């Protein structure tokens, strides 16, 4: 496979996942500002921008600022609109590989943004639209792409981004206190109903944390996403080696997964923000390693100024 095509598919997976997860995070966090009158809006919005790696200039920061920086501003790197544009641009670069259905969905979504109608609509409607569009892209990819190297690169990008964004979701909610913290996070990840079925209706912080961090079967848990990324890298390597792991990205992801999976949950929870920051740094380093290994024609792409 051409390096250019592999890189484009990798970043389509990342950008589509980023747009969906940012929409989920904003939808829940902005709703919390409405429901919790005791929350300082400026403090909560500054914390959210910091978690997402957006600059905080110290001026008045409110939900309008957050929506502009993280949702509507095409010039803002972590914004939803920027992510949709990035996915569409990479699909254009790999047009000979991307299916017509996937191109049409991404191109239509991209061309719907400049009309300005989403700024006039409610944020919830915009976030719902983003989730629908990204779910459509994911569904089309699952049903129309051959399970070859192109598929592996797209799933690899999606899995790395999903682990990174779930860590950011956990960090954004961990700063809040009170009984609504973990149920809110479960809803942000689309995990609430799956969690209730798994634990038979029991809503407890420890079980919710275990589900989002360590569950091997739920696709948005950090351990599952890291394991999926490892599997993609192992299939891309396919060297038949019998000992050791020589791929740097696979080694970093495997170490991060093992450090979460084989430690007592209480140890992870005791230093939760630091552990989530470590996951983010691992995802950034793994993405850089994939770029150096497979995309030799370009430098590593980042969306956080080179840091997690």
pLDDT > 50? residue 305: no
Work out the widest C-alpha separation in the chain, in whole angstroms. Answer: 58
Q: What is the pTM of this model?
A: 0.89
Do residues 250 and 225 touch, judged by C-beta distance below 8 A? no
* Closest-CA residue to 266 (of 224, 213, 308): 213
- What tens digit of pLDDT does each residue of 194-246 get? 998 988 877 677 888 889 999 999 999 999 999 999 999 999 987 566 566 77
* Closest-CA residue to 54 (of 72, 77, 71): 77
> What does the DSSP 8-state code read for residue 190?
T
- What tens digit of pLDDT does each residue of 129-186 get? 999 999 999 999 999 999 999 999 999 999 999 999 999 888 877 655 554 477 778 8
State the Cα–Cα distance between residues 270 and 13, nearest whole angstrom.
Answer: 32
For 5, 142, 183, 210, the CA distances from 145, given in Å and listed in that order, are 14, 6, 35, 33
Say what the pLDDT of residue 174 is. 64
Say what the pLDDT of residue 48 is. 85
């Amino acid at each position: 496979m051409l390096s250019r095509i592999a890189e484009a598919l990798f970043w389509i997976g990342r950008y589509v996942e980023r747009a969906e997860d940012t929409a989920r995070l904003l939808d829940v966090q902005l709703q919390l500002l409405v429901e919790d009158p005791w929350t300082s809006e400026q403090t909560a919005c500054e914390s959210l921008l910091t978690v997402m790696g957006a600059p905080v200039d110290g001026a008045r920061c409110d939900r309008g600022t957050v929506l502009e920086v993280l949702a509507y501003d095409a010039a803002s790197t972590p914004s939803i609109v920027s992510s949709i544009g990035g996915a569409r641009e990479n699909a254009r670069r790999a047009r000979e590989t991307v299916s017509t259905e996937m191109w049409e969905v991404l191109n239509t979504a991209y061309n719907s943004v400049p009309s300005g109608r989403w700024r006039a609509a409610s944020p919830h409607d915009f976030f719902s639209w983003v989730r629908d569009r990204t779910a459509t892209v994911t569904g089309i990819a699952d049903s129309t792409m051959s399970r070859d190297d192109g598929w592996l690169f797209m799933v690899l990008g999606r899995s790395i981004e999903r682990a990174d964004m779930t860590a950011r979701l956990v960090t954004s909610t961990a700063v809040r206190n009170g009984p609504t913290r973990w149920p809110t996070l479960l809803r942000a990840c689309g995990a609430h109903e799956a969690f209730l079925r798994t634990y038979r209706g029991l809503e407890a912080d420890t079980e919710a944390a275990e589900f989002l961090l360590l569950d091997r079967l739920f696709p948005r848990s950090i351990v599952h996403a890291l394991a999926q990324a490892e599997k993609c890298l192992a299939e891309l390597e396919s060297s038949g080696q019998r000992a050791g792991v020589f791929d740097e990205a696979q080694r970093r992801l495997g170490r991060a997964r093992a450090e979460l999976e084989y430690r007592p949950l209480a140890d992870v929870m005791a230093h939760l923000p630091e552990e989530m920051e470590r996951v983010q740094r691992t995802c950034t380093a793994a993405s850089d390693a994939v770029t150096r290994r497979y995309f030799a024609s370009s430098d590593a792409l980042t969306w956080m100024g080179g840091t997690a």
